[in-house]
Chains A and B, each alone.
Chain A
């Protein structure tokens, strides 16, 4: 699995991918900081699931709360990105090339997942720092105080926010892995990923608010938002963990057993 992990990182670690990722991270960080701060309303702190407030953002964890809230808007984008990353090896035939070097299919799949998550984790850290810096610059314009953003407590909040976003991304990555492995086709996988995480879940939620308790994408959104009126973050995490475990098992069994014929 370590060789598969190293291999995945080598494939990602090239100039073009790094440049695109860096640029995307920069745009996201500045954009997220601007949007979250601009939309902060007057109101009490401590209601993370409801929307950013000036009071809440002025607390110790306010700087990284901007990052957390900004990340929560990118769920569909990240999901589709992971779906493509898994499906492309089937469409391009590179899964065959990999299996000739690593015949243990579970190790190969886990190594790829770990490699993608490690890459995401590194850039997530960069994004958190950049978002914090951008927010620090923009906050005074929105009457958000940043005096407690550099306290020890702020660092603790920053770590919690980082782990929350990382867990949220891991959930999307594993669900995406299952879709990629099952469909083995980039266009089909992307179509399913986009349709499911976008219109299907959200339209259903509009007609049936309780969908947020059952649909994996909505559960992940609720988790990263720190809970909603319908479901707590802990409950959302527990429920979506079941989906993620099932998706991982289905992906692993399918990948281990299915013929690789193209």
Chain B
């Protein structure tokens, strides 16, 4: 049977085509809204907000479970982790986290979650299956960044007031090295090859590149943006391009994301995004970087190939963390 090409059926077909997710971006973007106690869920194909899910108080750090079916959420003012089921969109479980959880890292074994307790100078290790605390590891003042090495052997935690990156053995839970970095370190991100870990310093205005094993800073990146006071340059979130050649660095109230050559450590470009940009996430296909902009309450969409900001999506108040579910 053939379908006659009427204007109506054309419109219907067009509408259908627009509604169908493009396979290249059939992803879901999840954003924590610190002041709204909610998670905004965005469809990666249409870049439309699909739903806003209420969660516990002051959600900041978020991470996917290993199987991608659940989202672990640090709800700092409730002193726990919420587990959000990504099928039913309901918080199905709470996990203990220690006091004031801010950021977390899921071990490749899928079982252990490492949580930074911002007001307790601790990293708490949680068993996600048992729902129990395994141990607590003393670190510096205001622990924040949590960078799990690709092989899961090491965790790098930053402490914002101590100004250090603490290297933790994930088996023995010992702190094996402490590396002094610039003031108020935030994120710790590993290269895929595990050779170096990058640490951003919000008040220092720099990114320190630390060589694994030697635990020394072997490179420091500074950012100079014409017309922007040095004090406004506050590096926080970082993400590598899929091929590892470029690093995107969120620069806080400078309202820009820097594109850095991972080999030469030179800044190639500054991309203007929303206000006070903090955290970044890469889409699974490597085509986009998403940024949470805490003051303008939106999410910027960066085209990685063109190094261009292509869209801004309003989300909740004080958007903080962002992850992408394939």
Do the two chains bind?
A: no
Taking Cβ atoms with an 8 Å cutoff, the residues of B that contact A are none
Taking Cβ atoms with an 8 Å cutoff, the residues of A that contact B are none
